[in-house]
Amino acid sequence: MNWQQLNELDFENIGQWPRAAKAIAIALVCATLAGAVVYFLITDSLARLDQSKAQEAQLKNTFEEKARQAGGLPGSKLQLSELQAELNAQLRKLPNTLEIAGLLDDISFMATDNGLRLERINWEAEKPSEFSTELPMRIIVSGDYHQLGNFVADVAALPRIVIIDNFSLSRAGDNQLNMSMLAKTYKYNEQGAK
């Protein structure tokens, strides 16, 4: 079969083509169909492969993060136990219900021990929150500057947590000052922490 015979082939009468031309035409059609089928199957598989690779990378990152967390678990448990011990130590510094009345007596004693005249000391309204209840105490004392300073230092040195807040000084007379302050302590609400 030569080029002239190929040019003379009639596409409307394929049945009359020579056997070699029919074989070549059938081979070309089969190759084209096979190529199209393979292309569509492979592109679908390539898309799934890309999706699987992305999922693999994500799972690998998740695994590495969890492995890092698992590796730090003993240290985290140790840190948690240390923090729990610290929390318990701080909670022990808060006065319990029995010590709150004693706290009032301790502050009264400190005022008189420092030579101050105690004008007023009384509890104000409690202010509850989620984990603790604030117990404010209004204290008004009179004395000289050094006596007031020693009193405040003694209150700050109490083994229980007492915060001195909102204080004011005013002149009461010759070398005498009046100090009004709000001392706050806190009581732990056990039911709120659970």
pLDDT, tens digit, 9 for 90 and up, residues 22-77? 788 889 989 999 988 888 888 888 888 999 999 999 999 999 999 888 888 888 88
Domain boundary residue, one of 94, 113, 134: 94
For residue 46, count CB atoms less than 10 angstroms from its CB and return exposed for 0-12, middle for 13-18, buried for 19 or more: exposed
- Based on the domain organization, do 183 and 107 belong to the same domain? yes
Residue 5 lies in a domain: no
- Based on the domain organization, do 105 and 179 belong to the same domain? yes
Domain boundary residue, one of 94, 127, 148: 94
Model confidence band, residue 193 (pLDDT cutoffs 50, 70, 90): very low
- Based on the domain organization, do 171 and 143 belong to the same domain? yes
Q: Are strands 163-173 and 132-143 parallel, antiparallel or unpaired?
A: unpaired
Condensed to tens digits (0 to 9), the pLDDT of residues 87-119 reads: 888 777 776 666 777 888 888 899 999 999 988
pTM of the model: 0.52
Please state, in angstroms and as integers, the Cα–Cα distance from residue 109 to each residue in 29, 30, 104, following that order: 110, 108, 9
The total domain count for the chain is 2
- Based on the domain organization, do 162 and 106 belong to the same domain? yes
Domain that holds residue 73: 18-94
**131: helix, strand or coil:** coil
- Based on the domain organization, do 58 and 28 belong to the same domain? yes
